[in-house]
Structures are given as structure tokens and as C-alpha cells.
Amino acid sequence: MTDTDTAASRLATYREARERTVRQPQGVLALVNTQWVTGEPGVGQPIWGVPGLWAPRDPGESGLVLTAELADDILVDGRLAQGEVIVRGRDDENPSEVRFNDTVTGFVIAGEDGGYALRVWDADSEAIREFGGIDAFPYNPDWVVRATFTPLDEVKAVGFEHVKDDGRTRERVIPADITFEKDGVSYTLASYWDEEKLLVVFGDATNGDSTYGVGRFLKVLPDDDGTITLDFNRAYLPPCAFSYHFNCPIPPKQNRFAVPIEAGEKNVLARSGQLLH
């Protein structure tokens, strides 16, 4: 096999695993609600689709307070909830897990403003039942790019808009410049740490045409020699392409390519072959 054949084979294996992942009980297709719980601490409110009343905790305390009856049949950390129960957030060192029935589960996420939301997942969601696959470009060796990774001496932040934030930006610390030249054009991309890898949120001329309109993601890691490989064949769709209940970042201006990047994932398809949503 040639190097291109080997790379294409590895990509096919990666894509098969990716489709299995999005179908998981708490994969991106399973998210059916993200509801922020606001107001006075201890004052409960209903959350769409699940039983119980959910209230904020005191400022600085992780998670939400659930008020439930035995008949609600809610398990929190494996125990049947009755009365007031603390549901710890994902920012806690010991986050809580919630089970509502055989297919519906949940957990609490923390917002950047200190608030908390319940995320509800359904392993038998309509999206999972209707999912037909992830459309993607064939392997394209032209979009495996070797770039320079230059750590920044001073703190630099870039504002990222998000789909549901009405134009507001969230500042992300940019640890380094990622620079390269392709087809006579110089690029400097912004990335930020997301878990253990750098996330590049980018857009290109295919968006809204042959690929998802909001843009795509690419996870990368720098090498020890000061370079970084951008394999756009591994570009993947953001979570909001699979469920409306995610709030994804939008590519900043410097990460928007005027040219088409015909590599990576394109769109989420239904069984009918049409776009899933």
C-alpha cells in the first residue's frame, strides 16, 4: 500500500468509530434538552421532559438541588431520590449521574457565569432513530498541512461567538500562533485548549454549500520540534450539527478560509439521505 492508501484506510477506521460514538447513550445524537436553572437558591422549577423540581444551590456550590417523590422514580448516583437531593455538577471532583428511566439519563453542567444546567440524554431519541450517517469527503492528501507552532510570550485572548449567545463573545486564551502558507496564501490560526488537545474552530468556502453552515472543528497537538500537523481529513462536525441543544463556537475571522477545504466531515444525514436537521 502507498502512504496515501494507508492514510485513507486509517481514516475509514476512524470514521466508523466516530459514527458509533455519536450513537452512544450520551453521544451527541442523544441530547434532547439543555435547560439552565436560574433564580433564587432553593426555589425549584420544572425541567421539560423529566420529573422533579430543580433549583439553584447557594453561590459557589456545585450543581443543583432536586426535589423528588418516590413515584418520580429518579435515581441519583444509583439511589432512589426522595425529598431534597444534591445533584453535583460536572465541575465537581465527584459529579453526579442521574437516571430517569431505561433510556433517559442526565447530568449537570456548569456555565462560565457560575450557573448550572441539566442536560438530558435519551438513548432512544428521535435523532438516533433517524440517523443515517455522516457524509464526508474522500481522503484528500492536499489538505494535510505542516504548520509552525509558535508559543506566545504574552497572554493573548480571542473572542469566540457562540450560536445561541446573540452576538456576545467568550474570551479564549490562545497559547500559540499556528502559521502556514498554502497556495501562496499565508494563514495564522487561533486555537485553544479543549481537554487535552488544541481545538481549531474553522470555516471555509464549503460552509452552507457542501458542508455544515456553522463551520467545523479540528483537534491537534504540537510536536516537540515546533511544528504541528493540520490534517483537515480529520475535520469533524461540531455537536450543534447533531442536536439543537448544544451551543457551539463560531469560527473567528482569522480562522475563516476564503477557499474550499474539501476534506473531512460534511453533514449529518438522515436515513432518507436528506440532512438530519
pLDDT in tens, 38-74: 999 999 999 999 999 999 999 999 999 999 999 999 9
Q: Which three cell numbers stand for residue 142?
A: 492536499
Whether the Cβ atoms of residue 81 and residue 68 lie closer than 8 Å to each other? yes
Local structure of residue 20 (DSSP, 8 states): H
pLDDT in tens, 120-168: 999 999 999 999 999 999 999 999 999 999 999 999 999 999 999 999 9
Position 1 confidence tier, pLDDT thresholds 50, 70, 90 = low
Residue 114 scores a pLDDT above 80: yes
- Quote the pLDDT of residue 185: 97
CA–CA distance, 121 with 235 (Å, rounded to integer): 25
Whether the Cβ atoms of residue 73 and residue 63 lie closer than 8 Å to each other? no
> CA dihedral defined by 191, 196, 197, 201, rounded to 10 degrees?
-50
Q: Which value, in Å, is the radius of gyration of the alpha carbons in the chain?
A: 21
Report which of 135, 145, 140, 92 is spatially closest to residue 116, judged by C-alpha positions: 92
Residue 249 scores a pLDDT above 70: yes
**Residue 23: count of CB within 10 angstroms of its CB:** 16
243-246: long-range pairs with CB below 8 Å, 24+: 243/28, 243/29, 243/30, 243/31, 243/32, 243/127, 244/277, 245/31, 245/32, 245/33, 245/34, 245/119, 246/28, 246/31, 246/34, 246/163
pLDDT in tens, 188-232: 999 999 999 999 999 999 999 999 999 999 999 999 999 999 999
Residue 2 scores a pLDDT above 80: no
Report which of 135, 252, 261, 149 is spatially closest to residue 197, judged by C-alpha positions: 149
